[in-house]
Structure 1
Amino acid sequence: MDFSSLNLCQPLLDALDEIGYVTPTPIQVQAIPELIEGRDMLGCAQTGTGKTAAFALPILDAMAEDPWSGSRRIRVLMLCPTRELAAQINDNIENYARHLDIRSMVMFGGVSQRPQEKLLRRGVDILVATPGRLLDLISQGYVDLSHVQFLVLDEADRMLDMGFIRDIRKILAQIPKKRQSLLFSATMPRSIVELSRDMLDDPVSVSITPESTTVEAIEQSLMFVMKSDKRGLLRHIIEEERPKKVLVFSRTKHGCNRIVKQLGQDGIEALAIHGNKSQGAREKALGRFRKGTLQVLVATDVASRGIDVSDISHVINLDLPNEPEVYVHRIGRTGRAGQGGITIAFCDEGEGEYLRGIEKMIRQDIPVDENQPFHSENARSRKGDKAPKKQQNRGRGRRQPSNHKFSAKRSNGKSNHQSNGGRNSGRNGGRNGGRNSGRNSQRSGRGQSRNQRNH
């Protein structure tokens, strides 16, 4: 299947072709046809599954079919938890809409609001925003949401974790009830289910869960190490393996800063991104990491949500996450677009419980690498397993290909970076030689219709 079979308009297909997107990911195959028909949607999908294109493309398609006459008004509102994610979504939208007369903008705090006021006065069709800055500008009279037709909440679970639930409800009160609404979340706690009941109308559910997500070409390993030796082990791996780009995860902001300082003392340049860093500092660090002028980036899980870098060679879990799903999200940062990737998890004497939860969720024991100078049987014993699996013949400076892959029960999903191959032969531009007649039906309960496309 290619994108031409999803009934998207030609300007979008042209843009996707230029970007290099060819094969839709599973979340895109599930979501795009339903959203084209105007359905509300509750989606369970993590970053790395292609969900941004899954919700952005059908919205852009609808806007192309039904262009706004007169001055521009905000027709689409996309809310997300972090500045980095908001900026990334807006960048993607600008890429997808390069052949459409659609204007988007991104809005977040931590920077001067004057440029944002200027863009709003010019008029925008799509607003991508974090809740706090959006409410500020609403209260000041710069933002009018009374014409919103499409609402997207992305990474809703993170927004609730960060305390945005009251802000979200205030924003919902400003938006017309007659709209198409989409809610995407990596997890589905009770709070998300309750929010979905309030904002969605007879939604269709789509799910690409950790258990059904393929993390291809990722080589995992586990290193037992005392907490006091983690710094030395991290330095050893960086010096021996010379990774192209290594993303190091810490559970806390203080931990990120400490790692950067310690690596600097060891002669290794690293930068951190987390909530206490200024917007300028975060953008500078991410920019250098993307360009390859920075080898080591240290991040918290929340800050890492805005990282979209396709060629990360190593992911190192300096601290194991206390939520098993977060581990899957972390390791999915490497091995994208079919490239090989290496993930290493450090486990100290106090993290055995976290490790057990992770291995239970992914339904496999992570291969243990003892061939490192800081291996600790004491840390291993705290895990509580009698015989953890051992990874053989593994030299830290001479890494050999491994057959150990992420093998939890899953579907045949792809990463969110599309194949760079050519479009499939026999592309006919539509299903059964033409657009689906159902495409021209009334939107469910919303009185919106799509104009028939003539070929």
Structure 2
Amino acid sequence: MASATIGRKSIPNGRPKGDARSLKKKRDIDDVQKLQNAVSELVGDRLVVRKDGNAKTSQDIKAEIKNFADLPLSQTTAKGLEASHFKSLTDIQLKAVPRALKGRDILGAAKTGSGKTLSFLIPVLENLYRQKWTELDGLGALIISPTRELAIQIFEVLRKIGRYHTFSAGLVIGGRSLQEERERLGRMNILVCTPGRMLQHMDQTAAFEVDNLQMLVLDEADRIMDMGFQMSVDAIIEHLPKQRQTMLFSATQTKKVSDLARLSLRDPEYVAVDEGASSATPSTLQQHYVVTPLAEKLNTLYGFIKASLKSKIIVFFSSGKQVRFAYESFRHLQPGIPLLHLHGRQKQAARLDITSKFSASKNACIFATDVVARGLDFPAVDWVIQVDCPEDADTYIHRVGRTARYGRVGRAVMFLDPSEEEGMLKRLAHKKVPIEKINIREKKQQKVQNQLQNMCFQDPELKYLGQKAFVSYTRSLFVQKDKDIFDISKYNLEGYAASMGLPGAPKIKFQRGDDAKRLKNASRAALSSEEDSDREEEKPKKKDEVRTRYDRMFERRNQDVLSGHYSKMIAEDDGNGLETQADADEDDDFLSVKRVLPVDGNSSSEENEFDIAASGPAAKVIPGIGREPLVIDSNRMEKLLKSKKKLLKLKEKGQKVKFDDEGVPYEPNNVENEEDFRKRGSAQAQRARFLEEEAARVREADIEDKQLAKDKKRDKREKKRAREAAERDGVEDETPDLGEAGEDEDPMALLRSLPLDDDENEEAEERPAKRPRKWFEDESDEERETAKKNNSRVSGVADEPETLEDLEALAAGLLN
């Protein structure tokens, strides 16, 4: 059957192209309407009366839902979930997704690894799809994450399940080019970001608008508050429109999160999973702790890694410097498992590379800080080891949440110092965290202290890393709020420094208390004697003991190894075969600066001249330097005179002077003090007095100016009349001969007889310049033009008429 042709193109089935578009548009509208009806039927409203007597509208799910296919989702979202192998819903997804699809604000709390990411990504895609959001509508959804790694993970999940949608999504985190983000920011419909970078764009990027924002999501909201982003989040919320849907998700809910929820959520639905459960952690997670002294933690960690070479391990430390030291030292020890390290000071590209390597590996060990503790999903993690005690129970829950995710089996071990055991167990019991104590077999322990000492002795960089790690760990203990767990006086810091291979514990500046007071109040002599006695008591000499180079390194106190070499260089022979210590500052007046200053005001007396380079016991007085005479009574005061900066501090403050165009100095106008101003009278009286003085001065100046102008005009007229009379009489001025002048004649008469500049200018103005002849004129035309000018000169008036006679002469000339 032949197809019908319309115009220049053949349309199959005889249907115009415009009709196909309209049918597709109508079909999309019908699909959206069906989804809207299905969502409204899925969730029903129910009136709930609170304990305080206030009523609240709650929502109940009517239908029984187990899989994503049972939800009223669009074809594009369902297809993306199926392609990403997401089939069944978790508990938090079952409670949060239907309510979020209806547009309610959500405050969600669930265990780690329970699938909170899909709980807000599916509503984001569906709500924008039902509103037919396009690129021209601007930003529709904003998802805020506390760390870059978690933001990247959320963005990757969004790309997977939203691969069939037409929305544009962007990732805005620190460590990337700000200019590139600015160019693409205005075209994004969904943004996954960190708080700091997003606030920077809101303040600095002019083309970035959030007026049409529909949804705001805060993932790991408690961590956002704890990391110091509370002010940034508050500022971001101030930029956003009030009419929006807001969702907050976290594994633990704190008071800061509840305060933020009251400010940013409107009548939220509190969605919590397993509130009445006996444990705050997954039931498939086996949790243990080991009581080990601080000095034995590295030995225990190394032995544990050597015993678990076929596992995937995450090791948590308190600071990034500890992570670096542990990674570098264990890498030299070669335990037999791939080692990685991750902390917040690394660049963004390195962090992404490390996370991808650890995710792809089957057997590996990564040393990390709490940057990894929130939300990151590393597949198949077998062990989570906490070498340093977490700051609170919530941090512990998030750390162990990196394993036993989505119902899998996982194990966690925490190393506790004897001083930390009682307080930490109380905090975990309060949070319903079951944990058991285990003991380590002595056969499995391996001592690495001697090897670390050898490496620190041979490698100064590793020793430097160890010192920085010790200081950072000690500071982290000092700043902890919970002093029932972290009491810095109960830790064996000397043993911990020795276990890291350091020759001694570095000095900690922030320690306060009785020791600081004693050091401040005691004299230097007493302290030096106490230190000497302490050294003798601490280090008794043994005759039969063999001292190695490591022992000498630990006993070394004076690190200034070049002092002896310097002393030999500046030593001199006194002529008797004995070496004497020469003064390094005396170079036989080579480039020595000697300033001679007057003493006691007698600058002319040579006996009272004072040489700075010379020194003597007698006190000398130098006036004129400061407000009071300067007394030189010590070598220290003599050195003061050699410094120009120190002498300027003793002098009085000088007056500011400016120079005009001719180079004449003058004092600028300084602002008068208010007290001095009020002493001279009120402001109105001073104003009236100033106006009177200025008016009188102006009148005098006006009289002088008028008289000067009259004198100039009179001189000008007299010169003109004299010149005209000379022209009529035909008499020419004869230049007087200076040589014929007698003794009685005035020698300046010749200069006075010369014409002035004004006369020359007037003659130049009266003398017309000869006009060049045009190409069409002949000599007769030129003569006629000259005659006309001469006649006009006779009839014209050279000067402005001032009297009646001048006006009559001007009129007669014009009539002629």
Partner of residue 249 from structure 1, selected from 316, 333, 336: 316
Q: Distance in 2 between matches of 1:153 and 1:366?
A: 34
Q: Which amino acid in structure 1 is aligned with residue 393 of structure 2?
A: P
Report the alpha carbon displacement of residue 309 of structure 1 after superposing the two structures with TM. Answer: 1.0
Residues 124, 333 of structure 1: alpha-carbon distance in 2 compared, 3 angstrom cutoff: same
Residues 48, 364 of structure 1: alpha-carbon distance in 2 compared, 3 angstrom cutoff: closer
Q: Which amino acid in structure 2 is aligned with residue 128 of structure 1?
A: V
- Give CA deviations for 1:146-203 in whole Å, capped at 9, x if unaligned: 1101011111211111221221122112211111111223332222212111111111
Q: Which amino acid in structure 2 is aligned with residue 267 of structure 1?
A: Q
Q: Distance in 2 between matches of 1:306 and 1:266?
A: 32
Partner of residue 155 from structure 1, selected from 220, 224, 232: 220
Aligned to 2:136, the other structure's residue is in SS state coil
**Partner of residue 301, structure 1:** 370
**Partner of residue 416, structure 1:** none
Question: Greater relative contact order: 1 or 2 (C-alpha under 8 angstroms, separation 6 or more)?
Answer: 1
Q: Distance in 1 between matches of 2:71 and 2:441?
A: 49
- Give CA deviations for 1:242-286 in whole Å, capped at 9, x if unaligned: 143110111222322232123123114533222222212211211
Aligned runs of 1:74-85 on 2, under 5 Å?
74-85=139-150
**Partner of residue 432, structure 2:** 362
Q: Distance in 1 between matches of 2:130 and 2:113?
A: 29
**Partner of residue 127, structure 1:** 191
**Partner of residue 64, structure 1:** 129
Q: Distance in 1 between matches of 2:179 and 2:274?
A: 40
- Give CA deviations for 1:363-385 in whole Å, capped at 9, x if unaligned: 5341413435459xxxxxx99xx
Q: Which amino acid in structure 2 is aligned with residue 170 of structure 1?
A: A
Report the alpha carbon displacement of residue 46 of structure 1 after superposing the two structures with TM. Answer: 4.7
Partner of residue 118 from structure 2, selected from 25, 49, 53: 53
Aligned to 1:206, the other structure's residue is in SS state strand
**Partner of residue 371, structure 1:** 441
Residues 242, 114 of structure 1: alpha-carbon distance in 2 compared, 3 angstrom cutoff: same
Instruction: Find out whether 1:317 has 2:386 as its counterpart.
Output: yes
Aligned runs of 1:25-424 on 2, under 5 Å?
25-69=90-134, 71-121=136-186, 123-140=187-204, 141-208=206-273, 211=277, 215-268=282-335, 269-292=338-361, 295-305=364-374, 307-352=376-421, 353-362=423-432, 364-372=434-442, 373-374=444-445
- Give CA deviations for 1:81-139 in whole Å, capped at 9, x if unaligned: 11111111111111111111111111011222233223224x11101111111122222
The question of whether the paired residues in 2 share the 8 Å contact of 1:246 and 1:315 is answered with yes
Q: Distance in 2 between matches of 1:115 and 1:293?
A: 36
Q: Distance in 1 between matches of 2:162 and 2:347?
A: 30
Report the alpha carbon displacement of residue 77 of structure 1 after superposing the two structures with TM. Answer: 0.8
Cα RMSD between the aligned structures?
2.4
Report the alpha carbon displacement of residue 15 of structure 1 after superposing the two structures with TM. Answer: 1.5
Most deviating of 174-183 and 248-257: 248-257
The question of whether the paired residues in 2 share the 8 Å contact of 1:86 and 1:306 is answered with no
Q: Which amino acid in structure 2 is aligned with residue 263 of structure 1?
A: F
Most deviating of 18-27 and 219-228: 219-228
Q: Distance in 2 between matches of 1:176 and 1:320?
A: 42
The question of whether the paired residues in 2 share the 8 Å contact of 1:359 and 1:366 is answered with no
Aligned to 1:173, the other structure's residue is in SS state helix
**Partner of residue 388, structure 1:** none
Q: Distance in 2 between matches of 1:293 and 1:370?
A: 26
Residues 189, 339 of structure 1: alpha-carbon distance in 2 compared, 3 angstrom cutoff: closer
Q: Distance in 2 between matches of 1:218 and 1:163?
A: 30
Q: Distance in 1 between matches of 2:218 and 2:90?
A: 20
Q: Which amino acid in structure 2 is aligned with residue 336 of structure 1?
A: R
Q: Which amino acid in structure 1 is aligned with residue 197 of structure 2?
A: R
Residues 263, 209 of structure 1: alpha-carbon distance in 2 compared, 3 angstrom cutoff: farther
Aligned to 2:304, the other structure's residue is in SS state helix
Q: Which amino acid in structure 2 is aligned with residue 131 of structure 1?
A: P
The question of whether the paired residues in 2 share the 8 Å contact of 1:59 and 1:150 is answered with yes
Report the alpha carbon displacement of residue 73 of structure 1 after superposing the two structures with TM. Answer: 0.9
Report the alpha carbon displacement of residue 72 of structure 1 after superposing the two structures with TM. Answer: 4.8
Residues 81, 169 of structure 1: alpha-carbon distance in 2 compared, 3 angstrom cutoff: same
Q: Which amino acid in structure 2 is aligned with residue 328 of structure 1?
A: I
Aligned to 2:431, the other structure's residue is in SS state helix
Identical aligned pairs, as a percentage?
A: 31
Residues 371, 360 of structure 1: alpha-carbon distance in 2 compared, 3 angstrom cutoff: farther
Residues 368, 259 of structure 1: alpha-carbon distance in 2 compared, 3 angstrom cutoff: same
Most deviating of 151-160 and 38-47: 38-47
The question of whether the paired residues in 1 share the 8 Å contact of 2:312 and 2:362 is answered with no
Q: Which amino acid in structure 1 is aligned with residue 183 of structure 2?
A: K
The question of whether the paired residues in 1 share the 8 Å contact of 2:281 and 2:397 is answered with no
Report the alpha carbon displacement of residue 236 of structure 1 after superposing the two structures with TM. Answer: 1.2
Instruction: Find out whether 1:13 has 2:82 as its counterpart.
Output: no
Q: Distance in 1 between matches of 2:375 and 2:385?
A: 18
Most deviating of 53-62 and 184-193: 184-193
**Partner of residue 3, structure 1:** 68
Most deviating of 12-21 and 349-358: 349-358
Most deviating of 28-37 and 61-70: 61-70
Residues 209, 279 of structure 1: alpha-carbon distance in 2 compared, 3 angstrom cutoff: farther
Q: Which amino acid in structure 2 is aligned with residue 137 of structure 1?
A: H
- Give CA deviations for 1:283-317 in whole Å, capped at 9, x if unaligned: 12111101118711122223432532121111111
Q: Distance in 2 between matches of 1:350 and 1:257?
A: 26
The question of whether the paired residues in 2 share the 8 Å contact of 1:103 and 1:125 is answered with yes
Report the alpha carbon displacement of residue 341 of structure 1 after superposing the two structures with TM. Answer: 2.1
Q: Distance in 1 between matches of 2:358 and 2:172?
A: 23
The question of whether the paired residues in 1 share the 8 Å contact of 2:185 and 2:208 is answered with yes
Query: How many residues get paired?
Result: 376
- The runs of 5 or more residues in structure 1 that have no matched partner are 376-381, 384-455
Aligned to 2:239, the other structure's residue is in SS state coil
Q: Distance in 2 between matches of 1:217 and 1:51?
A: 18
Most deviating of 329-338 and 172-181: 329-338
The question of whether the paired residues in 2 share the 8 Å contact of 1:320 and 1:355 is answered with no
Residues 249, 100 of structure 1: alpha-carbon distance in 2 compared, 3 angstrom cutoff: same
The question of whether the paired residues in 2 share the 8 Å contact of 1:84 and 1:305 is answered with no
Residues 70, 88 of structure 1: alpha-carbon distance in 2 compared, 3 angstrom cutoff: closer
